[in-house]
Structure 1
Amino acid sequence: MAAAQALSSARRHFRSLELVLGLLLAGGMGLAVLFSGFLFPDGGESMDLMARLIPPFESLAHPLGTDPLGRDVLARVIVGGKISLTVGIFSVLGAMTLGTLIGLIAGYYRGFTEVLLMRFADIQLALPFILVAIMFLAILGTGIDKVIFFMIVAQWVQYARLVRGSVLALREREFILSARAIGVGNVRIIFTHVLPNVLGPIVILMTLQVANNILLESSLTFLGLGVDPLIPSWGGMLADGRTYLQTAWWVSVFPGLAIMFTVLGLNLLGDWLRDLLDPTGQTSR
């Protein structure tokens, strides 16, 4: 009976509307970006001034229209997604690695180490993110590497606090005490017994954070503090098209829709993972 219930629950999870929509939206955009080099060998940079500002759905060659320089909007939206997804994924991986390591150390060893690390985290949380980002990028300059580095430095705190709280609940559990009693070293306990038990919340936070970082990168690039304006990106396309909203709305609307659908898909996948990995947190349906 228990096995049948578990199987039924698994089927229900994998037939979830959140999973299906999340995969269609975020997965579809990810595949398009992955194969953008084959779909658009020119990288969306080919210009044709004779075909500038063609409205969407009026030309088979340019289904989403063209921008003020005659560049294909569809190609630039797909190619531009590479920047946003790269920033989102690599910044989250870096912040997760740094924050998880600090959280494991602070939660397991406690004492002065925990106080020092967590007070430093509290100070960083008190800093206004957008103002620090503007100052940081204005001093060091723009670029995808600098945006990723800043996001890692700014966001490790969330992972550290999450992991520390989970470790505090685990460190006095029977299986941890048994491992200590038989002489297992602290490092081995942390990475073989503690870490696997905190991966669920980390994965959920990572999924949601990728979506958040896509929005942050687009916002910073829109303000001129993100990636190089010459590189196609969603935030850059929004900035380029804002002066044409009344005459050529599609130049800004389609990059905005790409951001919205990608972020929505990732958030849906995050909610699905939360329900899958933490059944006690499910809401009734």
Structure 2
Amino acid sequence: MSLSEENIILPEAAKKKRSLAKYWSFELLFGAFLTCSLGVLVLCSGLLFPDGGEAIDLRARLMEPFVSWQHILGTDSLGRDILARVITGGKISYLVGVASTLGALVLGTLVGLVAGYYRGFWDVLLMRFADIQLALPFILLAITVMAIAGPGLDRVIGLMIISQWVQYARLVRSGVLSLREREFVQAARSYGLPDAKIIFGHILPNTLGPIIILMTLNVANNILLESSLTFLGLGVDPQIPSWGGMLADGRNYVQVAWWIMVFPGLAIMLTVLGLNLMGDWLRDHLDPLGQTAK
């Protein structure tokens, strides 16, 4: 092989290696590992712990972690297994995070598509509703809703949908405004395609990148919000195992039984960390204009 051929081939190999490292980064792999491993444990919690972490053993109350194989992460004030409650409680956090994000995604996307495509009266009306929503403090809205309707899983999900649809509406609207006058949309109109076909078949697919990024980050944010609301007594029923409820139960024992709060807090941290790492990776690869500096 001549020197000139070697100089041509080696850079190409280096480019392929860099490209592979770019798409399969540690950020993606570690985030996916955390998210998938915790998700599998939560989904299989019914098989792993048929009692749902509610079995009471007063003789083993406040047992320290790593002392007994039967209660490897210790027990709470009623002798309930911390490991079982952490894994079982993840179902509530994942359900709230995913369901509220999907609800806000659907509502906000529809509003953004209508406001951005039709503009005029509909744009002004819908965006003024969005401005009103943004002016309402979330914690004040949460206290008001929970005081009137009472705490509950469905109310928490509905509250998060109401408070977050604006993010998707504004994001989609800005994308639609930049796409509605593009050549491919004009060509679709010239062929006489109905508005619904143009909106959902041509405009919406070109706005999915930023939507997916925001959706991933919002799932993590909503898990934190649910835990915070439940900790304050504004979330799900205290009788239902959840990470926020475990934090609330353990605050009275933080000096004598630290493990009651630490392990559910660690589960929240790892879940949010994994989702945020995947969201950052998606942002770098689906939104080139917003790439983070490497």
Q: Where on the TM-score scale, by shorter chain, does this alignment land: which range?
A: over 0.9
CA distance 1:35–1:13, shift in 2 (3 Å): farther
CA contact (8 A) 1:79 1:233 kept: yes
1:122 to 131, 152, 155: 131
Q: Distance in 2 between matches of 1:75 and 1:56?
A: 13
1:223 to 223, 232, 237: 232
1:203 aligned onto 2:212? yes
The RMSD of aligned alpha carbons is: 1.6
2:265 to 256, 263, 268: 256
CA contact (8 A) 1:142 1:226 kept: yes
Once the 2 structures are TM-superposed, how far is the Cα of residue 32 of structure 1 from its aligned partner?
Answer: 0.5
2:110 to 76, 101, 107: 101
Residue type matched to 1:29 in 2?
L
CA contact (8 A) 1:96 1:159 kept: yes
Once the 2 structures are TM-superposed, how far is the Cα of residue 70 of structure 1 from its aligned partner?
Answer: 0.4
Residue type matched to 1:39 in 2?
L
Once the 2 structures are TM-superposed, how far is the Cα of residue 233 of structure 1 from its aligned partner?
Answer: 0.2
CA contact (8 A) 1:13 1:276 kept: no
Q: Which runs of 5+ in 2 are unaligned?
A: 1-8
Q: Distance in 1 between matches of 2:63 and 2:92?
A: 25
1:27 to 12, 27, 36: 36
1:12 aligned onto 2:18? no
Once the 2 structures are TM-superposed, how far is the Cα of residue 182 of structure 1 from its aligned partner?
Answer: 1.4
1:242 maps to 251
1:73-152 to structure 2, matched below 5 A, reads: 73-152=82-161
1:273 maps to 282
Q: Distance in 2 between matches of 1:229 and 1:87?
A: 15
1:162 aligned onto 2:171? yes
1:180 to 159, 183, 189: 189
CA contact (8 A) 1:26 1:266 kept: yes
Residue type matched to 2:120 in 1?
G
2:73 maps to 64
SS of residue paired to 2:70: coil
Once the 2 structures are TM-superposed, how far is the Cα of residue 280 of structure 1 from its aligned partner?
Answer: 3.2
2:292 maps to 283
CA contact (8 A) 1:88 1:210 kept: yes
Residue type matched to 1:221 in 2?
T
Once the 2 structures are TM-superposed, how far is the Cα of residue 20 of structure 1 from its aligned partner?
Answer: 1.2
Once the 2 structures are TM-superposed, how far is the Cα of residue 7 of structure 1 from its aligned partner?
Answer: 6.1
Identity %: 68
SS of residue paired to 2:79: coil
Once the 2 structures are TM-superposed, how far is the Cα of residue 228 of structure 1 from its aligned partner?
Answer: 0.5
Q: Deviations over 1:72-108 (max 9, x none)?
A: 0000000000000000000000000000000000000
Residue type matched to 1:254 in 2?
F
Residue type matched to 1:214 in 2?
I
Q: Distance in 2 between matches of 1:139 and 1:58?
A: 45
2:5 maps to none
1:212 aligned onto 2:221? yes
Q: Which runs of 5+ in 1 are unaligned?
A: none
Q: Distance in 1 between matches of 2:193 and 2:50?
A: 55
SS of residue paired to 1:198: helix
Residue type matched to 1:193 in 2?
H
CA contact (8 A) 1:92 1:152 kept: yes
2:180 to 168, 171, 176: 171
Q: Distance in 2 between matches of 1:228 and 1:10?
A: 49
CA contact (8 A) 1:73 1:251 kept: yes
Aligned residues: 284
CA distance 1:168–1:5, shift in 2 (3 Å): farther
Once the 2 structures are TM-superposed, how far is the Cα of residue 15 of structure 1 from its aligned partner?
Answer: 1.9
Larger radius of gyration: 2
CA distance 1:5–1:280, shift in 2 (3 Å): farther
